[in-house]
Amino acid sequence: MCGACMADQRPADSVPFTRLEAVVCNLCGIQDEVLLLEKESFRIVRCRGCGLVYVNPRLSQTEIAQQYDEGYYTDGSYADYLAERSGYERTFELRLRRIEQRVKPGRILDVGCAFGFFLSVADRRGWEAYGLDLSPVGCKYATEELGLRVLCGTLAQASFPPGFFDVVILNDTFEHLANPTQDLLQIWTVLRPGGHLFLVTQDSSRLLVRLLGRHWAQYKPREHLYYCTSLTLRRMLEKVGFRVLEVRDEGLVCTANFLVTKAGNVWQPAGRAAGWFVRLLGLGSRLVFVRTGYEIMAHAQKQ
Ligand SMILES: [Zn+2]
């Protein structure tokens, strides 16, 4: 899209023009989109060719990278990421147990590892674990506090040797990628032949998402750039040569406090009522298993 064309479609004045970049469909490469919804002055569109949903135009990559600073994990997308460590670790332990039913522990890469909680669990379970993240704060914690092998940067910058990993996993990272097809190609390259990819993201075609519309908390156009469905995710994986073995519903473990915060993000009265109830019973730090109804995990194999 040229700059002149963009002028008609730019978000409102709260997002300066110079910080935006226009993109074509990352799956089929065409530029024929229909407006799905607007949120926070951004346009979320659907490709007429393949159905992929994405933000267009979006913040520049520099702006996006700058978001993942210390505030991101305390008062940004995550109210208090470190306080949720026990929930994340329980989630990752359950996830790894399922992975280990398919692959025995070997060399694993977590793309978008944040503070390294997945790597920490994998390490304890006998994996040789590596991580990547764009957040300097997350990488610093993972390396200095947890002593993990984590690089701050992208897959391209990491320069892992071809065929280095048995497994690559993305835990709620895929929707953040600027060029998912290119990253999938790089993942394909660093996996050994027969290596496995596990990819956890959200299915934006689910009934709950359609009912919530623009109020769906995962529509975060400043950082979530792509909104897959099971179908578009399969197509992306197959396009780069993966064999998709399964796409299944996924859940997570979190504290009751975390759940209350998320409920409040969707509908404040519900969040307030749930918060009062949880405080009354002293259940705030209790871990609960939740199926959101839209979280999915794809399992694919390098052929
Ligand atoms: Zn398309």
The whole-angstrom separation of Cα 287 and Cα 75 is 21
Reduced to 3 states, what is the DSSP secondary structure of residue 126?
coil
The domain that holds 171 is classified in CATH as 3.40.50.150
* Letter string b/e over residues 245-279, b meaning 16 or more CB atoms within 10 A of that residue's CB: eebeebebbbbbbbbbbbbbeeeeeebeebbeebe
For residue 229, being part of any structural domain is answered with yes
For the segment 138-154, the average pLDDT, to the nearest whole number, is 95
Same domain, 141 and 29: no
How far from 211 is each of 99, 204, 214, 216, 224, CA to CA, in Å? 32, 11, 9, 9, 19
- 53 CA distance to ligand 1 middle (Å): 8
- 27 CA distance to ligand 1 middle (Å): 5
- 22 CA distance to ligand 1 middle (Å): 14
Same domain, 173 and 230: yes
For residue 272, being part of any structural domain is answered with no
How many folded domains does the chain comprise?
2
Same domain, 42 and 72: no
Tokens matching residue 105: 């522990």
Same domain, 91 and 36: no
Same domain, 156 and 234: yes
- 262 CA distance to ligand 1 middle (Å): 31
Same domain, 35 and 116: no
- 46 CA distance to ligand 1 middle (Å): 8
Domain extent for 241: 61-249+296-302
pLDDT digits (tens, 9 = 90+) for 173-224: 999 999 999 999 999 999 999 999 999 999 999 999 999 999 998 999 999 9
- 17 CA distance to ligand 1 middle (Å): 25
For residue 23, being part of any structural domain is answered with yes
Same domain, 14 and 105: no
Same domain, 40 and 71: no
pLDDT digits (tens, 9 = 90+) for 244-290: 999 999 988 887 777 777 777 767 777 777 777 767 777 777 787 88
Strand order in the sheet with 42-47: 33-39, 42-47, 53-55, 226-227
CB 223 within 8 A of CB 65: no
